[in-house]
Structure 1
Amino acid sequence: MKNLAIIPARGGSKRIPKKNVKLFLGKPIIAYSIEVAIESGLFDEVIVSTDDQEISRISQKYGAKVPFMRSEENSNDFAILNDVLTEVVEEYSKREIVFDNVCIILATAPLITVRSLKESYDLMHNKGFDSVRPVVKFSYPIQRAFKMDATGKVEMMHPQNYSMRSQDLEPAYHDSGQFYWINQGKDLLDPNKGAFVISEMLVQDIDDADDWALAELKYRHLNRKNDNELLHSGGC
């Protein structure tokens, strides 16, 4: 099997300036995604898709390739991961290079583990899914969610669930926002998707300064020197 890792890293982040190369515990945050991809041994190539020269330079410093710069069309706020996937696959196709599987790894996923990459890859092939992603279980039943109006008044979105026991409600999951395995010729919109459940401790959405601080706290906790295994050895 020939596998490609794509790390999308656009330069124009707004909520956190230069988010993809901002220092995370002393190292550009994109370096964590690059290093775990390389350490996993799963990929024939690890590339970064970017429109930014600084991101390109830093990515190459940590071992990724930047064989071509991202097009202007896919460098705006409206570009989605599927657009990046298509552009990269088509560019390699022009060079007569085809990969059996592609893994899109987000640039701001410092809690990603080698174990998660490997186990989800095995799941995709053992179960015949077209794509697989890590997900996290909601800590509280979403069937008991509230909605709120402009005055602050709340009401249940699904009042029929008010009297049901938590254990009788179907578990729900959300995307961890870390990576996506995809079979060649498929995309993220294909319906035959699989999921790999990971711990909430391994997940942190990073959209603002508080999120960033929480991610650093989780990373420190997972990498304490007295742990039996380090995070990037897949020991979490």
Structure 2
Amino acid sequence: MVKRRIAIIPARGGSKRIPKKNISDFNGQPMIAWTIRAAKQSELFDRIVVSTDDPEIAEISIQNGAQVPFLRKDFADDYCTVSAATTFALQQAMEYWNEEYTVVVQLMANCPLRTSADIKSQVAIFEAKNRTAQISCFEYGWMNPWWAATIDDIGKPTQIFSETLTQRSQDLPKLYCPTGSIWISTVKDLLTHKTFYSPGHTFEPISLQSAVDIDDLEDLKVAQALLRVSEY
């Protein structure tokens, strides 16, 4: 069976913590350009679609080689899930081009350090293992969640996992955090469940650098630092 893949890059215009985040400058280019380039260089996709409600984001996306045949009129507020927005964009694309796709890959515009090699590796694993939904994740390092605690008004901690407090980190199971870098689903499952967290979904690790998800200025500083290190 021939695989037909579509990449959808959600990029709404109403970001609050970093205004116009998805087209803000990142190392001399609009942030979204990094994701579009990685998708194009992977050479995996029949369509690379940016789903946005913002004409400026649409124009910059087209200039960088993505397709924006329609603006998003629904699922563009602060409360809807990104899965819902991607599902809606997928349905729009299928109707607009009168095409069927096998696999949909969601690539968040605020993950600029994910590469074409990352995309190819994640898609290859997804298809080789016949998965129905796969979410990229990274392994926690020095920030060990097993030792997490809440702190009250006077600074007294309450351990979340009190049973692991006295154990060495090397003796504890590895923990992983999802990242918006690369989410993959069969089209059938996404249209049925309207989420990448569908029954039977899996996590697939990627590097910390490729996983960086920029939501605020601190995240931006981390991403810039990792980029500088990678260039040496």
Which whole-Å CA distance do the structure 1 matches of 2:226 and 2:166 have between them? 35
Q: Secondary structure at the match of 2:188?
A: coil
Partner of 1:85: 86
Say which of 165, 170, 175 aligns to 2:168.
165
Partner of 1:202: 210
5 Å matches for 1:37-116?
37-71=39-73, 73-95=74-96, 96-116=98-118
Report if the CA contact (8 A) 1:101-1:183 is conserved: yes
TM-score normalized by the length of structure 2:
0.90
Partner of 1:186: 189
Report if the CA contact (8 A) 2:212-2:219 is conserved: yes
Which whole-Å CA distance do the structure 1 matches of 2:138 and 2:162 have between them? 25
Partner of 1:147: 150
Q: Secondary structure at the match of 1:178?
A: strand
Partner of 1:229: none
Report if the CA contact (8 A) 2:8-2:90 is conserved: no
Partner of 1:231: none
Which whole-Å CA distance do the structure 2 matches of 1:154 and 1:173 have between them? 23
Report if the CA contact (8 A) 1:103-1:179 is conserved: yes
Which whole-Å CA distance do the structure 1 matches of 2:221 and 2:144 have between them? 27
Partner of 1:138: 140
Say which of 10, 35, 41 aligns to 1:8.
10
Give ranges in structure 2 of 5+ residues lacking alignment. 191-195
Report if the CA contact (8 A) 2:4-2:45 is conserved: yes
Which deviates more, 135-144 or 98-107? 135-144
Spell out, residue by residue over 1:140-172, the C-alpha distance to the aligned partner (whole angstroms, 9 max, x if none): 442222111122211212222223332332211
Which whole-Å CA distance do the structure 1 matches of 2:12 and 2:218 have between them? 22
In the alignment, structure 1 residue 222 sits paired with structure 2 residue 230: yes
Offset of 1:82 from its aligned partner?
1.6
Indicate how the Cα distance of structure 1 residues 203 and 90 shifts in structure 2: closer, same or farther if over 3 A, else same: closer
Which whole-Å CA distance do the structure 2 matches of 1:24 and 1:92 have between them? 29
Spell out, residue by residue over 1:109-131, the C-alpha distance to the aligned partner (whole angstroms, 9 max, x if none): 11101121111111111112111
TM-score normalized by the length of structure 1:
0.89
Which whole-Å CA distance do the structure 2 matches of 1:30 and 1:66 have between them? 13
Which AA in structure 1 matches 2:200? N
Indicate how the Cα distance of structure 1 residues 67 and 174 shifts in structure 2: closer, same or farther if over 3 A, else same: same
Report if the CA contact (8 A) 2:7-2:45 is conserved: yes
Partner of 1:228: none
Sequence identity percentage: 32
Report if the CA contact (8 A) 1:121-1:132 is conserved: no
Partner of 2:193: none
Which AA in structure 2 matches 1:212? L
Offset of 1:104 from its aligned partner?
0.5
Which AA in structure 2 matches 1:126? A
Report if the CA contact (8 A) 1:5-1:47 is conserved: yes
Aligned residues, how many?
223
